Amino acid sequence: MKKIIAALLIPLILIGIALFWLSGNLDNLVKDAIEKYGSAMTQAKVSVGSVKITPGDGRGVISNLTIGNPAGFKTTHLLKVDQIDVAIDIASVATNVILIRHIAVNAPDVIYEKGDTMTNIDALQKNIGAYLGAPDNNKKEGKKLIVEELSVRDAKAQASAAFMNGKTVSAALPDITMKDIGRAKGGITPGELGQEIAAEVKAKLTGAFSFDRMLKATSELLDKTGSAIKGLFK
| Tens digit of each residue's pLDDT, the chain (234 residues) | 555 545 555 555 555 555 555 556 778 888 888 999 999 999 999 999 999 988 778 899 999 999 999 999 999 999 999 999 999 998 888 889 999 999 999 999 999 998 888 999 999 999 999 988 876 655 455 789 999 999 999 999 888 888 788 888 887 788 999 999 999 999 999 889 999 999 998 888 887 776 666 555 544 433 443 343 334 334
State the DSSP H helix or E strand holding residue 25, giving kind and residue range, or none if neither. helix 2-42
**Phi, psi torsion values for 203, nearest 5 degrees:** -60, -40
Whole-number Å distance between alpha carbons of 213 and 219 = 10
Whole-number Å distance between alpha carbons of 227 and 100 = 58
Q: Give 143's Cβ-side CA count (13 Å radius).
A: 11
Instruction: Say how many C-beta atoms besides its own lie within 10 A of residue 223's C-beta.
Output: 10
pLDDT at 183: 96
Instruction: Say how many C-beta atoms besides its own lie within 10 A of residue 70's C-beta.
Output: 22
What residue spans of 89-210 are helical by DSSP H?
120-133, 190-208
pLDDT at 126: 93
State the DSSP H helix or E strand holding residue 149, giving kind and residue range, or none if neither. strand 144-153
Q: Is 234 helix (H, G, I), strand (E, B) or coil?
A: coil
